[in-house]
């Protein structure tokens, strides 16, 4: 019987699900001071992407950041579910930080990270 994690591992490293959307969000996160939410990166799993304070160019290519982001998700899925539901897993790669957390914990994670959406309800999508 295949698990969700087994299916994801089958995609990596040649992972191709929505690469343009992920690269767009990675580029935005690198270019701005505010975190970028990728809601429902996978069913039930969100990402918060942001530049690491003090990081400087040259940044790695977006394809490399995309791969590191996917590796972060794979690692996070190997952690106990409670960790994803109570704060998530934090990863840093060459100037970019990724917080991987359960979609059900979005309001709490955004609040604790200080990334409360400017528009009420916007972070709930």
Nearest to 11 by CA among 98, 97, 74, 100: 74
> Parallel, antiparallel, or unpaired: how do β-strands 36-42 and 89-93 relate?
unpaired
Identify the pLDDT of residue 123.
45
Q: Is the pLDDT score of 49 beyond 90?
A: yes
Burial of 74 (0-12, 13-18, 19+ CB in 10 A): middle
Is residue 87 within 8 A of residue 104, CB to CB? The reply is no
Model pLDDT for residues 110-121, shown as the tens digit of each residue: 888 877 654 555
Q: Is the pLDDT score of 11 beyond 70?
A: no
For residue 31, name the pLDDT band (cuts at 50, 70, 90).
confident
Identify the pLDDT of residue 125.
41
């Amino acid at each position: 019987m295949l698990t969700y994690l087994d299916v994801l591992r089958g995609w990596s490293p040649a992972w191709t699900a929505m690469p343009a959307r992920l690269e767009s969000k990675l580029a935005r996160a690198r270019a701005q001071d505010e975190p970028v939410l990728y809601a429902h990166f996978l069913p039930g799993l969100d990402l918060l992407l942001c530049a690491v304070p003090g990081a400087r160019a040259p940044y790695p290519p977006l394809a490399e950041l995309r791969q590191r982001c996917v590796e972060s998700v794979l690692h996070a899925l190997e952690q106990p579910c409670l960790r994803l539901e109570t704060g998530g897993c934090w990863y840093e790669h060459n100037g970019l930080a990724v917080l991987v957390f359960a979609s059900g914990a979005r309001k709490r994670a955004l609040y604790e990270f200080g990334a409360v959406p400017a528009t009420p309800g916007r972070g709930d999508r």
